[in-house]
Amino acid sequence: MNSEPTAADQVALVHTIARLARLEIGSDEATALAGQFTSILQQFRGLASLDVTEVEPLVSMSGAESVTRADVPEPSFAPDLMLAAAPERDGDFYRVPKTVGGEE
Amino acid sequence: MSAYSELDAVALAAETSAGKRSAQDNVAACFAAVGQLDRELNVFLNTDRLRAEAAAIELDRRAAAGEELGALHGVPIALKANMCTVGFESNCASRILAGYKAPYTATFVERLVAAGAIPVGMTNMDEFAMGSSSENSAFGPTRNPWDKARTSGGSSAGSAAAVAAGITPIALGSDTGGSVRQPAALCGIFGFKPTYGRISRYGLIAFGSSLDQVSPFARSVRDLELVTRLMSGTDVNDSTCLDEPELQLEHGDVQGLRIGVPKEYFADGLEAGVRARCEEAIATLERLGATIVPVTLPHSQHAIAVYYVVATAEASSNLARFEGVRFGARVEGDGSLQGMFAATREAGFGPEVKRRILLGTYVLSAGYYDAWYGRALKVRTLLRRDFETAFESCDLIVGPTSPEPAFELGSKTDDPVAMYLSDVLTVPVSLAGLPAASVPCGFTDVGGVRLPVGLQIIGPHRADARVLCAARAFEAATTHARERAPAFAHGGAA
Amino acid sequence: MSSTGDTLRLRESGYVSKRTGTRWMVVIGLEVHCQLKTRTKLFCGCEYRFGAEPNSITCPKCTGQPGALPVLNREALALAVRTALALGCEVKEKSKFDRKHYFYCDLPKGYQISQYDQPYCTGGGIRLAHGKFVRLTRIHMEEDAGKAIHDRGDKTLVDLNRASVPLIESVTEADIESAAEATEYLASFKEIVQYCGASDCDMEKGTLRCDVNISVRLAGEPLRTKVEIKNLNSFRFVAAAIEYETARQVEAYESGDPAQFPVQETRLWDPNLGVTRTMRSKESAHDYRYFADPDLPPIRIDRAFIERERSSLPELPASRRERYESAMGLSAKDARVLTAERVVADFFEACVRLGGKAKDCSNWIQNELFCMVGDAEINAATFDEIQIRPHDLVSVLELIEKGVIQGNAGRTLLRAIVKTGRNAKSLVTELGLEQVQDTLQIETWCREALVGKDKIIADVKSGKPNALNALFGPVMKASGGKANAQVVRETLQRLIEEM
Ligand SMILES: [Mg+2]
Ligand SMILES: [Zn+2]
Q: Are residues C33 and C135 in the same domain?
A: yes
C-alpha–C-alpha distance, residues B379 and B238, integer Å: 26
Q: Are residues C246 and C160 in the same domain?
A: yes
Query: Quick one: CA dihedral C55, C59, C61, C64, positive or negative?
Result: positive
Reply yes or no on whether the pLDDT at C412 is more than 60. Answer: yes
Identify the domain containing residue A17 by its residue range.
Answer: 7-48
Please indicate whether, in this complex, the C-beta atoms of A47 and B343 are within 8 angstroms of each other: no
Helix, strand, coil fractions of chain C, as percent rounded to 5: 40, 20, 40
Q: Are residues C349 and C288 in the same domain?
A: no
Give the nearest chain A residue to B96 (CA atoms). A87
Span B436-458, pLDDT tens digits: 999 999 999 998 999 999 999 99
Confidence of residue C233 (pLDDT cuts 50, 70, 90): confident
Span C107-124, pLDDT tens digits: 999 999 999 999 999 999
- The answer to the question of residue A71 being in a domain is no
Instruction: Give the best residue of B86, B105, B201, B325 to mutate against chain C (max C CB count within 10 A).
Output: B325
The C-alpha torsion from B362 through B364 and B366 to B372, rounded to 10°, is: 80
Nearest to A23 among B308, B326, B358 (CB): B358
Burial class (CB in 10 A: 0-12, 13-18, 19+), B298: middle
Mean pLDDT of B95-123: 98
Domain ends where: C431, C458, C478?
C431
Q: Write the CATH number for C493.
A: 1.10.10.410
Please indicate whether, in this complex, the C-beta atoms of C55 and A71 are within 8 angstroms of each other: no
User: What is the model's pLDDT at position C427?
Assistant: 82
Burial per residue of B24-36, b for 16 or more beta-carbon CB atoms within 10 angstroms, e otherwise: bbbbbbbbbbbeb
Answer whether C460's CB lies under 8 Å from C468's CB.
yes
- The answer to the question of residue C129 being in a domain is yes
Q: How far is A5 from chain B (nearest CA, A)?
A: 14
Residues of chain C contacting residue A73, judged by C-beta atoms under 8 Å apart: 39-40, 45-47
Confidence of residue C437 (pLDDT cuts 50, 70, 90): low
Identify the domain containing residue C34 by its residue range.
Answer: 4-300
Span B301-333, pLDDT tens digits: 999 999 999 999 999 999 999 999 999 989 999
Reply yes or no on whether the pLDDT at B290 is more than 90. Answer: yes
Nearest to B274 by CA among B431, B398, B149: B398
Confidence of residue C281 (pLDDT cuts 50, 70, 90): low
- The answer to the question of residue A30 being in a domain is yes
In the DSSP assignment, the letter for residue C434 is B
Q: Are residues C367 and C270 in the same domain?
A: no
Domain tally, chain C: 3
Q: Worst-scoring range by mean pLDDT, B117-121, B273-277, C223-227, C437-441?
A: C437-441
| Distance from the first to the final alpha carbon of chain B | 7
Q: Are residues C249 and C323 in the same domain?
A: no
C-alpha–C-alpha distance, residues C208 and C190, integer Å: 8
Query: Could you tell me which residue, C44 or C423, shows the higher pLDDT?
Result: C44
Reply yes or no on whether the pLDDT at C22 is more than 70. Answer: yes
Q: Which ligand approaches the C-alpha of residue C56 most closely? A: 2
A69 touches chain B (CB under 8 A): yes
Amino acid identity of residue B251, one-letter, is: H
Distance C110 CA to ligand 2 centre (A): 16
Answer whether C168's CB lies under 8 Å from C77's CB.
no
Ramachandran sector of residue B45 (left: φ over 0; alpha: ψ -120 to 50; beta: rest)? alpha
User: What is the model's pLDDT at position B492?
Assistant: 45
Q: Three-class SS string for C247-295?
A: HHHHHHHHCCCHHHCCCCEEEEEECCCCEEEEEEEHHHCCCCCCEECCC
Nearest to B338 by CA among C163, A24, A86, C55: A24
- The answer to the question of residue A79 being in a domain is no
Instruction: Give the best residue of C39, C156, C287, C296 to mutate against chain A (max A CB count within 10 A).
Output: C156
C-alpha–C-alpha distance, residues B295 and B286, integer Å: 16
Q: Are residues C280 and C392 in the same domain?
A: no
Q: How far is A17 from chain C (nearest CA, A)?
A: 10
- The answer to the question of residue C78 being in a domain is yes
| Global pTM value | 0.91
Reply yes or no on whether the pLDDT at C343 is more than 50. Answer: yes
Report the length, in residues, of chain C.
499
User: What is the model's pLDDT at position B364?
Assistant: 97
B430 given a catalytic annotation: no
Q: Are residues C75 and C202 in the same domain?
A: yes
Give the nearest chain A residue to C75 (CA atoms). A71
Query: Quick one: CA dihedral C372, C377, C378, C383, positive or negative?
Result: positive
Confidence of residue C8 (pLDDT cuts 50, 70, 90): very low
Phi and psi of C381, rounded to 5°?
-85, -20
Q: Are residues C285 and C399 in the same domain?
A: no
Query: Quick one: CA dihedral B445, B447, B451, B457, positive or negative?
Result: negative
Peptide bond into C326 cis (omega under 30): no
Residues of chain A contacting residue C115, judged by C-beta atoms under 8 Å apart: none
Write down the domain spans for chain B: 4-259+392-482
Amino acid identity of residue A97, one-letter, is: P
Domain tally, chain A: 1
Which entry of B17, B134, B179, B438 is annotated as an active-site residue?
Answer: B179
Please indicate whether, in this complex, the C-beta atoms of B345 and A22 are within 8 angstroms of each other: yes
B133 given a catalytic annotation: no
What is the arrangement of strands in the sheet containing A93-97, beginning at the earlier edge strand? A89-90, A93-97, C155-159, C147-149
Give the number of C-alpha atoms closer than 13 A to the C-alpha of residue B48, restricted to the C-beta side. Answer: 18
Reply yes or no on whether the pLDDT at B8 is more than 70. Answer: yes
C-alpha–C-alpha distance, residues B344 and C235, integer Å: 41
Instruction: Give the best residue of A24, A67, A68, A98 to mutate against chain C (max C CB count within 10 A).
Output: A68
Confidence of residue A9 (pLDDT cuts 50, 70, 90): confident
Q: Are residues C405 and C494 in the same domain?
A: no
Provide the H-helix boundaries in C340-483: 342-353, 358-364, 370-372, 390-401, 407-420, 424-430, 439-450, 454-461, 469-478
Give the nearest chain A residue to B308 (CA atoms). A44
Which entry of B5, B134, B137, B155 is annotated as an active-site residue?
Answer: B155
Span B347-396, pLDDT tens digits: 999 999 999 999 999 999 999 999 999 999 999 999 999 999 999 999 99
C-alpha–C-alpha distance, residues C493 and C471, integer Å: 11
Q: Which ligand approaches the C-alpha of residue C40 most closely? A: 2
Nearest to C99 among B82, B92, B317 (CB): B317
Burial per residue of C17-52, b for 16 or more beta-carbon CB atoms within 10 angstroms, e otherwise: beeeeeebbbbbbbbbbbbbbbebbbbbbbbbeeee
Span B163-219, pLDDT tens digits: 999 999 999 999 999 999 999 999 999 999 999 999 999 999 999 999 999 999 999
C154 touches chain A (CB under 8 A): yes
Phi and psi of B235, rounded to 5°?
-140, 125
Helices B49-64 & B23-41 angle (0-180, nearest 10): 160
User: What is the model's pLDDT at position B486?
Assistant: 96
Q: Worst-scoring range by mean pLDDT, B121-125, B419-423, C139-143?
A: B419-423
Nearest to B489 by CA among B153, B169, B259: B169
In the DSSP assignment, the letter for residue B150 is E
Mean pLDDT of C87-100: 97
User: What is the model's pLDDT at position B160?
Assistant: 98
B239 given a catalytic annotation: no
Confidence of residue A102 (pLDDT cuts 50, 70, 90): low
**Domain B4-259+392-482 sits in CATH 3.90.1300.10:** yes
Phi and psi of B384, rounded to 5°?
-70, -40
- The answer to the question of residue A38 being in a domain is yes
Contacts of B403 (CB under 8 A, 6+ apart): B269, B270, B271, B274, B421, B422, B424, B425
Nearest to B358 among A14, A47, A86 (CB): A14
